[in-house]
């Protein structure tokens, strides 16, 4: 019986040590996350300081998010963008490059999750006002983007900063990406290039703002 009691005590002591050991790891993990975040911000500050001024004025986190409505002939499409500085994929003429995520709401109320990319001219300073910016987005489902062969719809926007907004047009990409009934064009139609061009103004806002505009546009 004494041996049994001692076994229980040893097991209980070991369990407490394991639990306290796990709890002791939390501050270390927190410090690692903070350190990684500081390194990221320092890298952006050195190589892409304009990221802290996207949309005008200084902000602590180097990103910009916004939404807008495209009034096409076949209905209203609501777009959401969230982007930040990222290394340029061009090895010949590398310039300020952005990456991120986006979303596109069709007149049918269908929402497509998108991957976003784009860029601006070389030599851009911290004042983005008046600077040209190009963005593109293509379908990228959550948790299965790499497994999806068909990334339609894809759209693009060409415009410039009018801080705090981006004033642009879709270069006919909505016309080419969708059928008149708002379904994705799978390439069976013969459409002229660039087709009908729809203007759009992206204003600062959250994904919740986008969802509300999507619901209102049905």
**Which pLDDT value is given to residue 116?**
98
Instruction: Name the domain count of the chain.
Output: 2
**Which pLDDT value is given to residue 188?**
67
**Which pLDDT value is given to residue 186?**
86
Domain span at residue 34 reads 1-47
- CA atoms of 74 and 202, how far apart (whole Å): 20
Q: Are residues 131 and 79 in the same domain?
A: yes
Q: Are residues 69 and 27 in the same domain?
A: no
Q: Are residues 24 and 61 in the same domain?
A: no
Q: Are residues 96 and 56 in the same domain?
A: yes
Q: Which of 47, 63, 84 is the last residue of a domain?
A: 47
Q: Are residues 76 and 154 in the same domain?
A: yes
Q: Are residues 37 and 137 in the same domain?
A: no
**Which pLDDT value is given to residue 8?**
44
Residue 76 φ/ψ, nearest 5 degrees: -95, 130
**pLDDT < 50 regions, the chain:** 2, 4, 8, 10-11, 14-15, 17, 19-20, 93
* CB count in 10 Å sphere of residue 210: 25
Q: Are residues 185 and 208 in the same domain?
A: yes
Q: Are residues 21 and 103 in the same domain?
A: no
Give the burial string for 173-186 (b: 16+ CB within 10 Å, else e). bbbbbbeeebebee
**Which pLDDT value is given to residue 1?**
52
Residue 35 φ/ψ, nearest 5 degrees: -65, -45
Q: What DSSP element (H or E) covers 180?
A: none
Q: Are residues 93 and 14 in the same domain?
A: no
């Amino acid at each position: 019986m004494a041996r049994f009691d001692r076994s229980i005590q040893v097991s209980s002591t070991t369990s407490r040590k394991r639990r306290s050991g796990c709890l002791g790891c939390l501050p270390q993990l927190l410090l690692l996350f903070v350190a990684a975040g500081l390194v990221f911000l320092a890298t952006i500050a050195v190589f892409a300081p304009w990221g802290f001024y996207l949309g005008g004025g200084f902000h602590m986190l180097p990103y910009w998010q916004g939404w807008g409505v495209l009034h096409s002939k076949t209905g209203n499409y609501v777009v959401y963008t969230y982007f930040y500085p990222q290394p340029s994929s061009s090895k010949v003429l590398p310039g300020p490059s952005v990456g991120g995520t986006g979303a596109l709401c069709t007149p049918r109320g269908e929402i497509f999750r998108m991957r976003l990319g784009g860029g601006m001219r070389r030599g851009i300073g911290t004042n983005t006002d008046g600077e040209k910016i190009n963005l593109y987005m293509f379908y990228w489902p959550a948790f299965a983007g790499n497994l999806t062969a068909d990334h339609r719809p894809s759209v693009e926007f060409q415009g410039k900063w009018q801080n705090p907004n981006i004033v642009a047009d879709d270069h006919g990409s909505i016309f080419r990406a969708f059928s008149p009934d708002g379904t994705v064009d799978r390439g069976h139609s013969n459409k002229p290039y660039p087709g009908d061009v729809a203007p759009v103004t992206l204003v600062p806002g959250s994904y919740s703002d986008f969802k509300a505009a999507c619901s209102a546009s049905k």
